[in-house]
Amino acid sequence: MPDQPTIYFIRHGETDWNRDRRYQGQQDIPLNETGRAQAHRNGQALRAFLPAIAQAEFLASPLGRARESMEIVRREVGLPPAGYTVEPRLIELSYGVWEGVLQDDLRHEAGYAARQEDPFRWRPEQGESYADLFARVSGWAESIARDCVVVAHGGVSRCLRAHMLNLDPERIPELESPQDRVLVLTRGAMRWL
């Protein structure tokens, strides 16, 4: 068992809602063709870590876009598609009543100004704040004991990096989260594939 497990983190591929800049949160929106191509590309990037990667734990968010991305990734590295665990703590940030709203329309939504003032702690009605997500993801990260391949979401990626790299959590909302790259993350270090 390694002292410092490596996390190979993949954000799920694109959905139509991503393309349209519509808040998805915990809505179960399927991948589009671009998203499937991104998942294939990310699986191909992981091939460089064979055979060791085959011994890692594979975990996905419960949402369909993450599970489909994981199954594509596993096929690309020559593993059975269904050989992974669904981890509820890896589900995306809940945007509550904002789910389904276009980002460009948010300026007209209640709470927009408050969000601009404190994007880390602000919580939409019936939703979660980044502070809530950070606590959930940090708890999960502290529980892992071996290398793992994770397919989850942009918010999860941001919070995981803040935790593993000891970043100021206030910076979480501004971190990038591409869908066409694999993040290789250990305690104190990261790189993109």
| 96-110 pLDDT tens trace | 998 998 988 887 766
Amino acid at 80: P
**pLDDT value at position 3?**
66
- Would 45 be classed as within a structural domain? yes
3 vs 169, more confident: 169
Alpha carbon separation from 150 to 80, 100, 114 (Å, rounded): 16, 25, 32
- Would 1 be classed as within a structural domain? no
Reported as a pLDDT band with limits 50, 70 and 90, residue 2 is very low
- Would 88 be classed as within a structural domain? yes
Q: Which of 12, 87, 153, 163 is catalytic?
A: 12
**pLDDT value at position 109?**
67
Decide if 185 contacts 90 (C-beta within 8 A).
Answer: no
- Would 38 be classed as within a structural domain? yes
Cβ-proximal residues to 51 (8 Å cutoff; 6+ apart), any chain: none
What CATH number did the domain enclosing 109 receive? 3.40.50.1240
Q: What is the span of the domain harbouring residue 41?
A: 7-192
CA gap 72, 183 in Å, rounded = 17
CA dihedral 125, 24, 185, 159 (to 10 degrees): -10
Query: Three-class SS of residue 193?
Result: coil
The count of structural domains within the chain is 1
pLDDT at 112 over 90: no
Mind listing the pLDDT tens digit for each residue in 65-75? 999 999 999 99
Q: Is 170 a catalytic residue?
A: no
- Would 136 be classed as within a structural domain? yes
Average pLDDT for residues 156-178, to the nearest whole number? 96
- Pinpoint the alpha helices (H) of 3-107: 16-20, 33-46, 64-76
> Which pTM was predicted?
0.94
Average pLDDT for residues 12-28, to the nearest whole number? 97
- Would 188 be classed as within a structural domain? yes
Q: Which of 71, 87, 92, 99 is catalytic?
A: 92
Decide if 119 contacts 106 (C-beta within 8 A).
Answer: no
**pLDDT value at position 110?**
66
Q: Is 92 a catalytic residue?
A: yes
pLDDT at 1 over 60: no
- Would 2 be classed as within a structural domain? no
